């Protein structure tokens, strides 16, 4: 049995804890505390990490780590990214400028994006369709990145598993390219 690590990142309130809980086979370990940031409309916020795990069909285990979303905890991002197989960036499309939010996480994960696959999940897209999915693709393209961008309801197990499946497909494609 092999073990892998996938990192979930994104703004506070984008749904990292919820996404991990939607697919984890174990109870999610979380470092949520009472939110004191008046700009966030939620009762608690992650200050360290979230953790869960799933088992793949072949018996391999995937450890799921969520980063804190508030910028003041960005020092945790590279620590949690160590040895990660891939990155899921979650964006909340109901925020004032979700494209700017994407830029923050692309910049904060620039070193990791040179080495690992990534997928972008856009949440609350059904209630806030603008900017559209194509706008995220255009923003990525402008940075020289070609990454899958999918609408995702992080409360739905199937949506989160789709993000993980797309990420793992990128990993497998990369392995095939590296094979002699």
Mean pLDDT by 10 residues, the chain (180 residues): 93 92 91 64 67 92 90 83 96 96 94 94 94 96 96 97 95 73
- Report pLDDT for 172: 87
Residue 67, domain extent: 3-178
Q: Which CATH number does the domain housing residue 74 bear?
A: 3.40.50.300
- Report pLDDT for 46: 64
User: What backbone torsions phi and psi does residue 69 show, to the nearest 5 degrees?
Assistant: -90, -20
Task: Tell me the whole-structure pTM to 2 decimals.
Answer: 0.89
Contact indicator for 161, 168 with CB cutoff of 8 Å: no
The single-letter DSSP state of residue 14 is S
Q: Measuring CA to CA, how many Å separate 29 from each of 18, 80, 85, 146?
A: 12, 14, 20, 32
Contact indicator for 69, 11 with CB cutoff of 8 Å: yes
**Domain tally, the chain:** 1
- Report pLDDT for 119: 98
Q: Residue 110 corresponds to which tokens in the numbers above?
A: 């620039």
Quick check: helix, strand or coil at residue 143? Answer: coil
Residues 85 and 138: their CA atoms lie apart, in Å, by 25
Q: What is the pLDDT of residues 46-63, one digit of tens each?
A: 656 889 999 988 899 999
């Amino acid at each position: 049995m092999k073990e892998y690590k996938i990192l979930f990142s994104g703004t506070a309130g984008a749904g990292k804890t919820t996404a991990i809980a939607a697919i984890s086979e174990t109870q999610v370990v979380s470092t949520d505390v009472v939110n004191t940031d008046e700009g966030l409309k939620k009762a608690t916020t992650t200050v360290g990490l979230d953790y869960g795990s799933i088992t793949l069909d072949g018996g391999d285990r995937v450890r799921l780590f969520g980063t804190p979303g508030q910028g003041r905890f960005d020092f945790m991002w590279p620590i949690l990214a160590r040895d990660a197989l891939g990155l899921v960036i979650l964006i909340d499309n109901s925020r004032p400028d979700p494209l700017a939010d994407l830029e923050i996480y692309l910049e904060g994960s620039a070193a990791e994006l040179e080495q690992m696959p990534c997928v972008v999940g856009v949440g609350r897209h059904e209630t806030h369709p603008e900017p559209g999915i194509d706008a995220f693709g255009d923003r990525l393209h402008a940075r020289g990145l070609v990454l899958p961008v999918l609408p995702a309801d992080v409360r739905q197990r199937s949506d989160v598993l789709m993000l993980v499946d797309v990420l793992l497909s990128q990993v497998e494609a990369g392995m095939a390219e590296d094979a002699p």
